[in-house]
Structure 1
Amino acid sequence: MTQLTLDDHPDRYRLTNELHARPFPELTAPCGAAHLAIKQPTRASERDKSEDFAHLIKLLDRYGAPHPPPGANHYSGDLGRGFLKWEMHTEFVTYTIFAPGVAERPFSGELFSLFPADWLAEAPGKVVTSALIRVERMDQETTESRLRGPAQQWFVPESLTASRVIDGEAVIATDFRIDENGHARMAIFSQPDIGGRRLGRITQRLLEIETYKSMALLTLPRAQTVAAAVSRLDRQLTAIVGDMAQGKGEDSETLAALLRVSAEIEHLSSANAFRFGAVEAYEAIVNHRVQVLREQRIGGRQLFGEFMMRRFDPAMRTCRSAKDRLNELSLRAARVANLLRTRVDVESQRQNNEILAQMSERAALQLRLQETVEGLSVVAISYYAVSLGAYLLGPPAEKLAGISKPVLTALLVVPIVLGVWYAMHRVRARLTGGAHGK
């Protein structure tokens, strides 16, 4: 066999092994499972995950179990008389203990006692969900009897959900309620010839449905708060647009009000972006896990899919609605800001045109004044030039030509005035031509 001579990508083996790192448990009925999901109440995605790892190590040390490698985000191994499966997720961690056999008293919580009480009290977070699964082996006829009898005592009949899954290899039942001990109860009645891995997949999927359902529902209170805030901000934004349409208020006041609304909208968006993104992922996982069960109706009872459609989907629609309304409000605020900016630009252009018109009027007035000054300047310069000419040419003219000084002065006025006017005209033309050239 030809061996590769190229170097492997640094993450090639790690990522390939990740695909096989979380195999389904292999179970044999009768057996049971105790499941626990723990999450910090706030900013769980930013938590110090080393605390979760340290908490796992404390549990393993209680039973003398081997440790996972540092930094691991999943673990599977024997724990006392059971088998522990631990997983670290973005927002929460899960502990699941599988053990053979079932207690005589259904859902007594005996298996859950493998989690020490003092160890639970030290958990770095709060319980999101706690579930007990009872797995019994029985044929189809016994299963029907079980659902009509004991299952009516285990679960609330009004909420009882039961169906055949995985080509009729098992029957699953639950009421999605929390019992007096704080656990959700689930039951699996498997056919005698079901495979261990198939039974493990069914069990694991039930636990995932319960966990991700609970994680998704955590967004509902936040969505309701966001929806109320969006309604309030929508009214404020509508009032701002109404004032703009009627021309009320100064632009500076309108801008200040719009900035306050826009800032609060952006704060809501940034503060809830992760939560709304997470609920979409959790909802997709729940729907997928229900779908792969391939449910078949049994005895007219509601299916898991029907329960989710009636009870779970409305909550998810509320979350999606809050997210969509918030995004729509953000777009509306942006459009209003553009409208206000356009109005301010138009007003600024109008003011600029008025200023230019006033400047043009002042320039015309200044030109007329300048022409007046130039006329006066011609007169003044001509006056002094005539006086100087008369003083300069008076004696020679009177002596040589017999022209008196008054007559000489009169003769000098016209040519000197014309000369001064022409000289100033040339100077102004030269200056004006130089300014245009620049």
Structure 2
Amino acid sequence: MNIHPLRSQLYDELHSRPFQVIPSPARVTQIALQCTEAEKRAQLEHLKELQNLLGCPVGHTDRSCFEYDCGDFRLRREKHTEFTTYTFINLDVPEDSDPFEVTGLTPLPDGWVDTLPGEVVAAFHVSIEDARQSPEPALPEVKEAFEDMRLVGSSPQDGDARVWTSFQLHSDGFGRLMVVNKQMSDSQLGRLTQRLMEIEVYRLMALLSLPLAHSLSPELVRMDARLADLTQQLSEEDSVNEKALLSDLVDMASSIESWRARSTFRFGATQAYHALVLTRLEELREDEVSGHLTITEFMTRRLTPAVRTCEASNKRLEDLSRRVDRVSDMMRTRVELGIHEQNQQLLSSMDRRSRIQLMMQHTVEGLSVVAISYYLVGLLKFLFIAMYDAGLPIDKTLATGISVPVVLLIVWLMTRRIHHHFIKLARKDRIGADET
């Protein structure tokens, strides 16, 4: 069989980011870093340092999803379009330890995390507690673990687990999540934990465009008012400074294109990340915990309006761009009409000058007939005198007088014939040009 060269790659793509299997109890930390391609390459060298620091082989790290297993400590690195996530899983959890006293970063050498290349967008700890054989943490204990911040909680997976979070930064600079395993398997717990971490990362990546939308809003208001003023000038004033208006439109169009270049990708990414968050929320299948907002309710009330603000700014920017194009078309039409009117006036002036030139030409032709006839009659007079002196019986004066009208008629006929000949040539040239 003729196998497609991408067949194996297409199969592998579906398994490039497998769900993790996480036992309970465990401590997980995830860090998402926005980075360039150069920083992503630098991260590979940074990962290789772990081989010397921890004594475990690193292996091939240049993959979209790289997993590093060192016994009770696991590391997972995933490359995305504009960011990279590091997930640190610590399975060595002392008994009776506080939920966030030990984290996924505890087994790492000091300073290794601090030198990760890239800008940290998301960083949070996940405390996975086992309540299958023992009671789950009481609400006062949970509040104390979250430093008495307002909690968001739910019972996902039809009540097989309990999730607590605050969606805020705590005193250590990290966010916090608590997952209480009631009756889930390790694979189910791994899938739930990964969905929760993706919700946290994707919601922060979606919100990256909100400051851009806020900074863009006053500029859009200013440009909108200026465009409305230009449109009003075009519609109400017969005589406007077209050069100044065109200059304003060009400046406005360049500003809009500059904003579009800066915001198009960011706003498009916000919509994509928001769609991923909504998908992960649906997969949670949450039940409400009495007295607390669920994660879905919190996202609906807080994240969705922010995303709508970004979408509105993007739509307004696109609408303003289209309006500038329409006003520019109106301005070009106005200029073209002005040029057409000037051309009409110029043609009318040329037509008047042509008629004047034609009249002058006819006058010159009349004078030319007289002048040519005068010279011809003078020549004939010399001829008649010579004939009279030669003894021919002619009256030289009478002969000269009779030759005057004859010469005038002959010269006039010859002039008219030449004139008509040139008119025919001009008509032929014009007909040939029209056919072409």
TM-score, normalised to structure 1's length? 0.91
The verdict on how the C-alpha distance between 1:281 and 1:68 changes in structure 2, with shifts beyond 3 A counting, is farther
224, 228, 235: which one pairs with 1:238? 228
SS of equivalent residue, structure 1 residue 178: coil
Report Cα offsets for 1:317-372 as digits up to 9, x if no partner: 11111111111111111111111111111111111111111111111111000000
1:100-115 to 2 correspondences below 5 Å: 100=91, 102=93, 104-115=97-108
1:11-410 to 2 correspondences below 5 Å: 11-40=6-35, 44=36, 47-69=38-60, 71-79=62-70, 81-100=72-91, 102=93, 104-138=97-131, 142-143=135-136, 146-155=137-146, 159-192=150-183, 194-245=184-235, 246-247=237-238, 249-396=240-387, 399-403=391-395, 405-410=396-401
TM-score, normalised to structure 2's length? 0.92
SS of equivalent residue, structure 2 residue 81: coil
The verdict on how the C-alpha distance between 1:116 and 1:231 changes in structure 2, with shifts beyond 3 A counting, is farther
SS of equivalent residue, structure 2 residue 106: helix
SS of equivalent residue, structure 1 residue 167: helix
SS of equivalent residue, structure 2 residue 166: strand
Determine if contact 1:159/1:176 at 8 Å carries over to the other structure: no
Cα displacement (A) at 1:68 = 3.6
Aligned to 1:413: 404
> Is residue 2:29 matched to residue 1:9?
no
The verdict on how the C-alpha distance between 1:433 and 1:352 changes in structure 2, with shifts beyond 3 A counting, is same
C-alpha RMSD of matched pairs (Å): 2.1
Code of the aligned partner of 1:26:
V
Tell me, in whole angstroms, the C-alpha distance in 1 between the residues paired with 2:322 and 2:149.
Answer: 44
Determine if contact 2:72/2:92 at 8 Å carries over to the other structure: no
Cα displacement (A) at 1:262 = 0.2
Tell me, in whole angstroms, the C-alpha distance in 1 between the residues paired with 2:10 and 2:69.
Answer: 25
SS of equivalent residue, structure 1 residue 378: helix
Tell me, in whole angstroms, the C-alpha distance in 1 between the residues paired with 2:150 and 2:316.
Answer: 32
Cα displacement (A) at 1:70 = 5.7
Tell me, in whole angstroms, the C-alpha distance in 1 between the residues paired with 2:403 and 2:208.
Answer: 107
Unaligned runs of 5+ in 2: 430-436
Code of the aligned partner of 1:12:
R
Tell me, in whole angstroms, the C-alpha distance in 1 between the residues paired with 2:263 and 2:73.
Answer: 40
Cα displacement (A) at 1:259 = 0.5
Determine if contact 2:58/2:68 at 8 Å carries over to the other structure: no
Tell me, in whole angstroms, the C-alpha distance in 1 between the residues paired with 2:104 and 2:284.
Answer: 26
Report Cα offsets for 1:234-279 as digits up to 9, x if no partner: 2222222222222454212211111011011011101222111111
The verdict on how the C-alpha distance between 1:109 and 1:273 changes in structure 2, with shifts beyond 3 A counting, is farther
Moved more, 392-401 or 146-155: 392-401
Report Cα offsets for 1:370-425 as digits up to 9, x if no partner: 0000000000011111111122124436854442x332221111111011100100
Report sequence identity in percent: 34
Tell me, in whole angstroms, the C-alpha distance in 2 between the residues paired with 1:79 and 1:94.
Answer: 19
Cα displacement (A) at 1:147 = 4.9
Q: How many residues align?
A: 425
Tell me, in whole angstroms, the C-alpha distance in 2 between the residues paired with 1:321 and 1:68.
Answer: 47
